[in-house]
Amino acid sequence: MIRGVIFDLDGVILSTDDFHYQAWKKLADRLKIPFDREKNNRLRGVSRMASLDIVLEGYTFSEEEKLAFAEEKNNTYRVLLNTLTPEFVNNDVRDTLDELKSRGIKIAIGSSSKNTKLILSRVGLLNAFNAIADGTDIKNSKPDPEVFLIAAQRIGLEPKECIVVEDAFAGIDAAVAGGFVPVAIGDACAHKKAKYRITVLSDLLKIVE
């Protein structure tokens, strides 16, 4: 019996993918390292430092330099986040969240991003969820299930009682590893371990009945 739904944030509730791309691209260009959208797609669902390692593949920098690069990228990204407005979240998403809550389903965010609360605040959804677990809560990023396990604990449910909605392969792997019901949207629909595949968020309402 499904009693909770845990959502990844970026690519599920809204998309700031282009902001990430612009921020990584600016850093890579400054370092004269090739970076394109194909490589950017490999960063989806991956932590900031793991993403940086992908960006810097084939190049050697000290840990101190890498930490500075990660901070530089995040500062650029956060400036771009200031352009977010409630219009970045479509009506299908808002209506689905409202309907799930009306059915007594607990909803939570499980995101590796340390900017989760800032993003939710900018789009007017900071108080829309029963719980939020994000990059500030975890030591291990997806595909480790830690963020989803924390989210489930905060809404008082067992993993088997919760759907996890993800658009990234690493997120589906994390959901499976944690014992959750994995639901794929977007690129993650190609993942063989997804139990359900949805096109829009309101398709969830056919699963949670």
Q: Which of 10, 134, 144, 167 is catalytic?
A: 10
105 and 177 belong to one structural domain: yes
Q: What's the CA gap between 169 and 155, in Å, rounded?
A: 24
22 and 63 belong to one structural domain: yes
Query: In terms of residue numbers, what domain contains 193?
Result: 4-14+87-207
32 and 113 belong to one structural domain: no
Q: Which long-range contacts (CB under 8 A, 24 or more apart) does 35-41 make?
A: 41/187
40 and 127 belong to one structural domain: no
Count of domains forming the chain: 2
Which CATH number goes with the domain that contains 62? 1.10.150.240
State pLDDT tens for residues 103-130. Answer: 999 999 999 888 999 999 999 999 999 9
Q: What is the DSSP letter of 182?
A: E
Least confident of 16-30, 31-45, 86-100: 31-45
Is 134 catalytic? The answer is no
State pLDDT tens for residues 68-80. Answer: 999 999 999 999 9
Domain endpoint, select from 61, 81, 101? 81
Is 17 catalytic? The answer is no
136 and 48 belong to one structural domain: no
